[in-house]
Amino acid sequence: MASTVKTKTDLAFQRCVMPDCAATYDVADVRTSCDACGSLLDVDYDWDSLPVPSSLQSFEEKWSRRNEPLCFSGVWRFVDLLPFAPTNKIITIGEGQTLLHPSDGVARFVGVRPGNLLLQYEGMNPSGSFKDNGMTAAFTHAHTIGARRAACASTGNTSASLALYCGVSKLMQAIIFIGSGKISYGKLSQALDYGALTIQIAGDFDDAMHRVQQVSTKQGIYLVNSVNPFRLEGQKTIMFRVLEAMRWEVPDWIVVPGGNLGNSSAFGKAFYELHQLGLIDRIPRLAVINAAGANTLYELVEGRGLRWNNGRPDASIVNNYYAELDDANRRASTIASAIEINRPVNLYKCLRALECCNGVVREVTDQQMLDAKAQVGANGVGCEPASAASVAGAKLLRAEGVIAPTERVVCILTGHQLKDPTATVAYHTHDQAEFNRVLGSRGVTRAAFANRAVQVENNLDEIIRAIELNS
Ligand code: F0G
């Protein structure tokens, strides 16, 4: 196969992640794995020949030019750190206008000092999740190579994002693959409303992912799942914005939910590159948090000792684990449907990120996630269940003493509260039968932070009494 491997021709190119292979490919190639060894690809750059900014502060110059779309975008104002596309081909819909909220209420819940807990709220993106950061980048690449159809498998947010970019731009048709009954209504409604061709497969996300890869290869459809290395270039900018909001100071911890492991992989690449370029002097620690019902990364890293090992991970640990899952017919199962994934496609890139960032992996139960979610909501931000894995994970790491109370912790809130109202309403309900129906099978037994609606007769005195009693 080596004859198909191209040599790099440009300032941006694609490169196999495995250092022993390191095959390179043209930036305009459409591929999601290395021809030579089958591994994942990175987008890489000839930084020595590119105009690299002398400091991160220099990006502040873009703030005064917010009326220009590429300066307005929270992704493309950092274009110098992801320079793979001609700027006249970039498709932006104003993604990345997100906020870093300090929350002393959540700091108390987690157990760190006031001021030390920050929530990076990616729910403010146009489609309501962090996915738009990556989608603008993959969509731009698809546009530069003239794609007319783009596909993804999704637990709901990637599909909502793809559907939105297709709907706004009319440049491509969106074809989305979802597992049947595996997607929250908030997310499904977006894909349908934005006009995506929606293929509902009898199976779960792992099945849908497998099929979309087959179909897109066979039919020449552009694949935008995070096996697409351009997606991750866009997701690097979440970390650039965190640093920007901290006035370019590096936090001690980044805590992120882990599903398909695109974010954690992108964050590791972001910090590696910033460090290599001399733009930061230290790298924060990374904590990736699985749902206990979809805990492949946790099992492999913390349970079985899998490591990146300088680019020589022991693939037999992974293969044996997947064979065990198959033998036991074990499927991912969690209320956090966004991260209900047992075969994360970016596993190896995530291992590399963990090595680069001295990372740790933890698992949290659905109960822990929903309690953390209620605390995030009560402190005025609001997120979907999977996002709260970051806060629940930070609390766990604090209780273990891995995170110190004096450390500054950034938890990534990946998706908007309205993405999955079913879980939220069930948590807060006074109706025990409804609580059990939605949450009982998930091992959720109590709602310590429930805010129950007060039932009252349609009677003025009764209404006033209810208000006064509860004020
Ligand atoms: N949080 C939310 C809200 C998500 O939608 C996802 C992934 C993750 C966390 C996990 O991120 O894959 O980078 O580790 N959602 C994908 C989807 C799988 O199809 O929308 P990851």
Task: Please check whether residue 220 is in contact with residue 301, taking contact to mean a CB–CB distance below 8 angstroms.
Answer: no
Structure tokens belonging to residue 463: 């209404």
Longest dimension (CA), the chain: 83
The CATH 3.40.50.1100 domain(s) of the chain lie at: 99-127+231-423
Q: pLDDT by residue (tens digit) across 363-381? A: 999 999 999 999 999 999 9
Is 362's pLDDT higher than 50?
yes
Specify the amino acid at residue 342. Answer: N
Query: Looking at the domain that runs over 99-127+231-423, which CATH code has it been given?
Result: 3.40.50.1100
Q: pLDDT by residue (tens digit) across 166-183? A: 999 999 999 999 998 889
User: What band does 338 get if pLDDT is binned at 50, 70 and 90?
Assistant: very high
Beta bridge partners of 363: 290
- The Å distance, Cα 370 to ligand 1 centre, comes to 17
Asked if residue 268 has its Cβ within 6 Å of ligand 1, the reply is: no
Say how far apart CA 228 and CA 30 lie, in whole Å: 9
Q: pLDDT by residue (tens digit) across 108-137? A: 999 999 999 999 999 999 999 999 999 999
Q: pLDDT by residue (tens digit) across 439-449? A: 999 999 999 99
Q: What percent of the chain has pLDDT over 70?
A: 98
User: What band does 9 get if pLDDT is binned at 50, 70 and 90?
Assistant: low
Query: In residues, how long is the chain?
Result: 471
Asked if residue 393 has its Cβ within 6 Å of ligand 1, the reply is: no
125, 129, 135, 369, best to mutate for ligand 1 pocket (most atoms within 8 Å of CB): 129
Is 41's pLDDT higher than 80?
yes
Specify the amino acid at residue 6. Answer: K
The mean pLDDT of 316-322, rounded to a whole number, is: 98
User: What band does 1 get if pLDDT is binned at 50, 70 and 90?
Assistant: very low
Residues of the chain by 3-state class (helix, strand, coil), percent to 5: 45, 15, 40
Task: Please check whether residue 73 is in contact with residue 136, taking contact to mean a CB–CB distance below 8 angstroms.
Answer: yes
Three-point CA angle 302, 305, 308, nearest 5°: 105
Which atom of ligand 1 lies nearest, measured to the CA of 419?
Answer: 3
Is 6's pLDDT higher than 90?
no
> Nearest C-alpha to atom 4 of ligand 1 is from which residue?
338
Asked if residue 263 has its Cβ within 6 Å of ligand 1, the reply is: yes
Q: What percent of the chain has pLDDT over 90?
A: 96
> Nearest C-alpha to atom 7 of ligand 1 is from which residue?
338
- Predicted TM-score (pTM) of this structure: 0.96
First-to-last C-alpha distance (Å) of the chain = 72
The candidate with the shortest Cα–Cα distance to 305, out of 269, 297, 401, 353, is 297
